[in-house]
Amino acid sequence: MSTKAAALPRLQEEAYKGAWSWITTVDHKRVGILYGMTAFSFFLIGGMEALIIRTQLAGPEGTVVTAGTFNALFTMHALTMIFLVIMPLGAAFFNYMIPLMIGARDVAFPRLNALSYWVFLTGALFLNVSFLVGTPPDVGWFAYAPLTAKAFSPTHAVDYYIFGLQILGISSMMAGFNFIVTILNMRTPGMTMMRLPVFVWMTLVVQFLVVLAFPIITVGLIFLQFDRFFGTHFYEASAGADPLLWQHLFWLFGHPEVYILILPAMGIVSEVLPTFSHKPLFGAPFVIFSGVLIGFLGFGVWSHHMFTTGLGPVADAAFSTTTMMIAVPTAVKIFNWIATIWGGRIRLTTAMLYALGFIAMFIIGGLSGVMHASPPVDLQQQDSYFVVAHIHYVLFGGSILGLFAGIFYWYPKMTGRLLDERLGKLQFWLQMIALNVTFFPMHFLGVDGMPRRIYTYYGTDGWNGWNMVATIGSYVLGLSVMIFLFNFFRSLRAGKPAGADPWDGATLEWTIPSPPPLYNFARLPVVTSARPFWEVKYASAAQKAQMEKAEKERGADHIHIPPPSYWPIVLAFGMAVFFAGWFFNYYVNVAGVLIVLAATFAWVYEPGH
């Protein structure tokens, strides 16, 4: 690259220093870090909520918290882990890694990307400020009607639920459209769709799920908002409406949401296993198309959550069949992952251990999910602790373990330093043991009749022993997270330097320095295979000479870096004012709209946009 071409990035990197530069950043890597740090902060909050829940249930007739507080805790724990932890942790990897893996300098719409983060943070704070004013949501993360009606919930608790999820939905839609355009339009020369890394493919499927599923829950939330504020009767049975309408709308969103949560982890595992087995992913096209099929079938299984509502034998049979069908593409992925490991030169790094742990735990969660595809079995297990065990094996044993694999795999790329492998392995084994000690006994509790949202129980119920075991396991899980935090911050200062390619990676992010420069690639790479870096590293002498000749014949690339902008945070503030107006008066709504319009106008006409 010419001296003139290199000057602009150097000058702009000088402007990317200090706290204000983080607030005004539009750099996809920094936005990814903001998502990740915010999500992990809420992970600690959600974990503390879980520990209080488990402490309350450790023994019979517990008095740690009141019944109302317990209802708020289990509601907010689920909302936090689903919408404020797993989704944004996936978004952190999308933001940081997708442009690097497709050979781009940024996402398609950098300012929209920054706005999606600030809107996400606004929604997250909106949900959690409900604790400070004494009215946190207390109706479960699924908020079934008629519990959400004004007659049953006269405080603002449900209103915080409505507006918090609406704000978070806006953020997700912004990010969804941005990444769809980025992946389809911003790929480097030669990066055909079937040369995309599997993680990028899973990201693409997730974004289509987001833009198709979130409008459904938005409609349901608007109906609920109208019922509460304007006296309509979308869900009120006494007015001739059907409360099951909410369940249909919620689960039409809710089951695709499960795949929004798990597919990023599946994509990460599909990158980690080939690297540490030192062989290509077995049957990569089948893994890709199975992910696409999971996304498609995910919209056809929602009513298996509603077998107990009396849908009738025809509907039960249809949704039982589709639920069993969706296990097929999932099994394809699992067998391909196992075939990738088979015969490979395996390196048991912490990232690899987490990927293997993901497979094992997800199989357990998947098997109990297939059990729920049978209406007679589901009738027994519905709303029992068996379902709690199932969802935690899928979301903690699946999503969280997969995300930890990604953290240990890409931490060197993001920071330039390696996490301590000894501490990492200690954390992994503690987490694996504690996970099973915490959640496996819940299967027994569920079969024995313990309801899933129970506040306390009597000693004569026979649930004492397994509840105490689960509580002990939850505290060991908390200890494993503390070990990770120590490892994370210690490695930032004193970790072993990683270099550009510490794992012998096959994809484009490992071809550039760690951490990457502001502009990512001084020259956009030209891709000729699905494993471009392995192709370069292990090419013959004649092939390397040909590559070097072709590289010399290329001209210098133009580098454009969008300048920082503070308008995304102003826009997010305007949205917060608008939604807060529903708690105060019409004039606050109007003020929020005016702020949004003014900020949007200034943003569009901002120099350098």
Q: Which residues are catalytic?
A: 77, 106, 141, 171-172, 255, 257, 259, 270, 304-305, 330, 333, 452
Q: Taking the CB of residue 218, how many other CB atoms lie within 10 A of it?
A: 17
d(C-alpha 573, C-alpha 167), whole Å:
11
d(C-alpha 451, C-alpha 402), whole Å:
29
d(C-alpha 575, C-alpha 564), whole Å:
21
Residue where the block lists tokens 């105490």: 468
d(C-alpha 471, C-alpha 493), whole Å:
34
Please give the span between the terminal C-alpha atoms of the chain, in angstroms, as a whole number: 25
Residue where the block lists tokens 């935690």: 392
CB 355 within 8 A of CB 334: no
d(C-alpha 533, C-alpha 99), whole Å:
16
Q: Taking the CB of residue 465, how many other CB atoms lie within 10 A of it?
A: 11
DSSP H helical ranges for 372-420: 375-381, 385-394, 401-415
Which residues, in sequence order, are bridge partners of residue 417? 497
d(C-alpha 100, C-alpha 120), whole Å:
23
d(C-alpha 289, C-alpha 587), whole Å:
51
CB 62 within 8 A of CB 461: no
Task: Please report the DSSP string for 194-258 in residue order.
Answer: GGS-HHHHHHHHHHHHHHHHHHHHHHHHHHHHHHHHH---SS-GGGT--THHHHHHHHHHHHHHH
Longest dimension (CA), the chain: 81
CB 354 within 8 A of CB 424: no
Check the CA dihedral 484-487-489-491 and report its sign: negative
